[in-house]
């Protein structure tokens, strides 16, 4: 990679563009949209099309306010460009992932003034597991985080290049406004608090005491405020309660996912989400923190540190925790990892780097062994066992080459090779699977029901399938989850969680098609045992979805 120093910035950005497109975009059509979140966002955009509105998100034929509107705009544009397909829905998350890799390169160039280190920063980010995952799924987190990244890059550009102060500050507020339209007020809270902390450490708070800040604030309000104000004006407390209290304040106070509400969840999520660079995160963090023992802390280190401190402070104390929530700090982590790798590769003492590289390559080798084991243990999931063996053979040969590169102290060559492994595994897993999508998507089950459906009753679905069945059928649905609480965010559909509600539903609907989980099917049979006039017929099992027809028959006089 010595040639990088001889390439122009435009050519290096072109390399980053090509690599990130392969890592993040290629093959996004192979898997149908999955339950329960991808179909949630895609169905909202579909219903906005049906209601001919670009302004009010709809779900289950009613306005829904779980997220702001910008993600749905992007989804609609994707549908216009590519049709209503899984590739179209995933296009903009991948597109923003690509833009994020380019932005990290530019940020690292501003901070390090080193093309190799900047390229390595972009490379570590685009090859990290959580980054690949969020680029290939329909969530708000990728778009939201990249707008925050743009805001940070814009500010740092304006801060370090005097002639770009005006543009940097204005772009900062524009990007923060777009982030606010993507996921909410954190779009301005996170970057603004971080740069205030940074300016405080630099004893330069007066940097923002400028008319550009006033104009930037005006631009922020012009871009972000109209949608919120119109929703408040039109829907009043139903919007403010759902959006501000239920989806923001309540998640600070109440854990939506109880098992995640642990102090160590985010540190583990950062390390795990950066795989295959997990070990490098730990070493890089130690290397990074050592810089704060110096009398004069490097400006770029203070900037990255402020960024990470605020992100952790904002999310750590909230009780609702998901790995994707902490995603806005991943670009900073990638830069820190790249800084450590580059520094360690250039020092005379390379023992730590050697150990980390050998450990990572060893884990990647074990992944190939696991792939072979899974082929024998779960053969019904594999479309072509021979293709698995060919892939594993090539993969093992590649891992062996990486091992030799480490022994020959070709450290950066080994690093770039490691970055290829995870995208290759992900792509091949999607390409070679036979039935994996049956366990993550309701597409085939929904298509079967549409083909055989007869009647006017809502489709009865286990809670986890409701959104997917709605997306793939466009039919009215009802949810069943016996003994459970309601959805964390309200869904305007019939919800059955008690036997009396179950009986009421079937007394009103004499022919019902249902898609149950295995346990949901057992619950339904147990209750219908006491309703002998109903005949239960299991039509088909697709993955973990039990497709059932339940009909009323007065000729039946014995329990099922």
Q: Which residue has the higher pLDDT, 479 or 251?
A: 479
pLDDT band at residue 381 under the 50/70/90 scheme = low
d(CA 500, CA 111): 64
d(CA 109, CA 44): 39
* Centroid of chain to Cα 76: 19
Domain co-membership, 325 together with 401:
no
DSSP tag of 560: -
Domain co-membership, 405 together with 284:
no
Q: What angle do CA 451, 454, 458 make, to 5 degrees?
A: 100
Residues in contact with 284: Cβ distance below 8 Å, sequence separation at least 6, in sequence order: 333, 336, 337, 339, 340, 341
Residue 169 lies in a domain: yes
Q: Which residue has the higher pLDDT, 389 or 189?
A: 189
d(CA 512, CA 457): 6
d(CA 382, CA 434): 5
Q: What angle do CA 363, 365, 370 make, to 5 degrees?
A: 90
Split into its structural domains, the chain has a count of 3
Q: C-alpha distances in angstroms, 555 versus 536, 548, 551, 558?
A: 14, 20, 12, 9
pLDDT in tens, 483-521: 877 888 888 999 999 999 999 999 899 899 999 999 999
Sheet containing strand 477-480, edge to edge, reads 494-496, 477-480, 459-462, 511-516, 545-552, 534-542
d(CA 243, CA 419): 39
Residue 50 lies in a domain: no
d(CA 250, CA 298): 39
pLDDT band at residue 559 under the 50/70/90 scheme = very low
d(CA 544, CA 523): 15
Q: C-alpha distances in angstroms, 396 versus 103, 361, 416?
A: 33, 10, 16
Domain co-membership, 242 together with 266:
yes
H or E stretch covering 218:
helix 211-235
Domain co-membership, 177 together with 265:
yes
Domain co-membership, 453 together with 389:
no
> Is-contact 40 54, C-beta < 8 A?
no
Residue 39 lies in a domain: no
Please tell me the predicted confidence (pLDDT) of residue 137: 96
d(CA 537, CA 524): 12
pLDDT in tens, 271-328: 999 999 999 999 999 999 998 888 789 999 999 999 999 999 999 989 999 999 999 9
- Which residue, of 406, 436, 466, is where some domain finishes? 436
Residue 37 lies in a domain: no
Is the pLDDT assigned to residue 416 strictly greater than 90?
yes
DSSP tag of 34: P
* Centroid of chain to Cα 335: 20
pLDDT in tens, 127-146: 999 999 999 999 999 999 99
Residue 500 lies in a domain: yes
At 468, list the tokens: 């997917």
Please tell me the predicted confidence (pLDDT) of residue 486: 80
Residue 54 lies in a domain: no
Domain co-membership, 221 together with 140:
yes
Please tell me the predicted confidence (pLDDT) of residue 37: 94
Q: Which of 24-33, 208-217, 347-356 has the lowest mean pLDDT?
A: 347-356
**Cβ burial 82-121 (10 Å sphere, 16+ → b, else e):** eebbbbbbbbbbbbbbbbbbbbbbbbbbbbbebbbbbbbb
Domain co-membership, 419 together with 271:
no
Q: Which residue has the higher pLDDT, 362 or 425?
A: 362
Domain co-membership, 411 together with 316:
no
Residue with the two structure tokens 């985080």: 145
Q: Using DSSP, state whether 480 is helix, strand or coil.
A: strand
Is the pLDDT assigned to residue 1 strictly greater than 70?
no
Domain co-membership, 161 together with 214:
yes
- Determine the structural domain holding residue 297 and report its residue range: 2-30+65-344
Question: If you average pLDDT over residues 247-272, what whole number do you get?
Answer: 90
Closest CA to 542 of 351, 380, 342, 362: 380
Is the pLDDT assigned to residue 534 strictly greater than 50?
yes
* CA diameter of the chain: 89
At 485, list the tokens: 């609480």
Question: If you average pLDDT over residues 158-168, what whole number do you get?
Answer: 96
**Helix 351-377 crosses helix 411-432 at what angle (to 10 degrees)?**
20
H or E stretch covering 16:
helix 9-24
Domain co-membership, 271 together with 413:
no
Domain co-membership, 215 together with 127:
yes
Domain co-membership, 331 together with 374:
no
> Is-contact 327 145, C-beta < 8 A?
yes
Q: Which residue has the higher pLDDT, 305 or 2?
A: 305
Report the percent of the chain where pLDDT is more than 90.
Answer: 75
Closest CA to 490 of 259, 239, 230, 187: 239
pLDDT in tens, 54-108: 999 999 999 999 999 999 999 999 999 999 999 999 999 999 999 999 999 999 9
Residue 99 lies in a domain: yes
Average pLDDT, the chain: 92
Alpha helices in 32-140 (DSSP H): 37-50, 70-82, 86-112, 115-126, 129-135
- Which residue, of 436, 457, 476, is where some domain finishes? 436
Q: Which of 252-256, 337-341, 386-390 has the lowest mean pLDDT?
A: 386-390
Residue 55 lies in a domain: no
Please tell me the predicted confidence (pLDDT) of residue 437: 84
- Which residue, of 397, 415, 436, is where some domain finishes? 436
Please tell me the predicted confidence (pLDDT) of residue 434: 64
Please tell me the predicted confidence (pLDDT) of residue 560: 38
The torsion angles phi and psi of 111, rounded to 5 degrees, stand at -85, -40
pLDDT band at residue 558 under the 50/70/90 scheme = very low
| Cα separation of the two ends of the chain | 70
Report the relative pairing of strands 494-496 and 477-480 from DSSP bridges: parallel
Q: Using DSSP, state whether 350 is helix, strand or coil.
A: coil
Is the pLDDT assigned to residue 553 strictly greater than 90?
no
């Amino acid at each position: 990679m010595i040639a990088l120093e001889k390439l122009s910035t435009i050519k290096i950005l072109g390399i980053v563009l090509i690599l990130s497109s392969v890592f993040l975009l290629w093959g996004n059509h192979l898997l149908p949209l999955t339950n329960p979140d991808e179909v949630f966002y895609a169905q909202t955009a579909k219903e906005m099309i049906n209601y001919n509105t670009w302004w009010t998100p709809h779900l289950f034929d009613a306005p829904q306010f779980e997220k702001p509107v910008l993600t749905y705009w992007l989804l609609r544009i994707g549908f216009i460009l590519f049709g209503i397909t899984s590739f179209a829905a995933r296009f903009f998350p991948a597109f923003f992932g690509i833009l994020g890799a380019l932005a990290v390169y530019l940020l690292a160039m501003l901070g390090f003034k080193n093309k190799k280190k900047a390229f390595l920063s972009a490379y570590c980010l685009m090859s990290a597991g959580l980054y690949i995952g969020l680029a290939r799924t329909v969530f708000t987190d990728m778009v939201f985080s990249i707008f925050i990244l743009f805001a940070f890059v814009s500010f740092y550009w304006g801060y370090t290049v005097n002639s770009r102060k005006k543009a940097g500050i204005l772009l900062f507020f524009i990007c923060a406004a777009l982030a606010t339209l993507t996921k909410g007020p954190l779009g301005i809270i996170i970057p603004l608090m971080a740069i205030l902390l940074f300016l405080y450490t630099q004893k330069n708070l007066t940097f923002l005491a400028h008319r550009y800040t006033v104009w930037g604030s005006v631009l922020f309000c012009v871009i972000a405020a109209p949608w919120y104000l119109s929703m408040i004006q039109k829907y009043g407390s139903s919007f403010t309660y759902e959006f501000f209290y239920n989806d923001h304040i309540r998640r600070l106070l109440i854990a939506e996912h109880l098992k995640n509400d642990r102090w160590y969840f985010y540190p583990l999520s950062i390390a795990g989400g950066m795989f295959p660079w997990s070990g490098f995160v730990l070493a890089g963090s130690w290397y990074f923190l050592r810089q704060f023992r110096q009398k004069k802390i490097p400006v770029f280190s203070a900037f990255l540190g402020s960024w990470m401190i605020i992100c952790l402070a904002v999310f750590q104390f909230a009780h609702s925790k998901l790995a994707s929530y902490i995603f806005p700090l991943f670009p900073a982590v990638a830069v820190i990892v790249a800084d450590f790798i580059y520094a360690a590769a250039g020092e005379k003492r390379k023992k730590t780097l050697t150990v980390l590289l050998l450990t990572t390559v060893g884990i990647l080798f074990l992944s190939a062994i696991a792939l072979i084991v899974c082929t024998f243990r779960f053969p019904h999931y594999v479309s072509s066992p021979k293709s698995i063996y060919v892939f594993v053979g090539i993969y093992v040969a590649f891992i062996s080459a990486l091992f030799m590169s480490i022994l020959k102290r070709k450290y950066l060559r080994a690093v770039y090779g490691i970055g290829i492994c995870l995208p290759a595994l992900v792509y091949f897993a999607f390409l070679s699977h036979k039935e994996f999508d049956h366990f993550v998507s309701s597409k085939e089950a929904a298509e079967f029901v549409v083909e055989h459906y007869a009647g006017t009753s809502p489709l009865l679905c286990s809670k986890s399938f409701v959104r997917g069945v709605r997306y793939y059928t466009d039919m009215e649905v009802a949810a069943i989850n016996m003994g459970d609480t309601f959805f964390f965010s309200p869904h305007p559909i019939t919800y059955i969680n008690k036997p009396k509600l179950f009986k009421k539903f079937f007394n009103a609907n004499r022919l019902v098609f249902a898609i149950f989980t295995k346990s949901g099917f057992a619950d339904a049979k147990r209750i219908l045992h006491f309703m002998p006039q109903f005949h239960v017929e299991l039509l088909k099992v697709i993955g973990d979805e039990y497709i059932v027809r339940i009909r009323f028959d007065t000729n039946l006089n014995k329990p099922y």
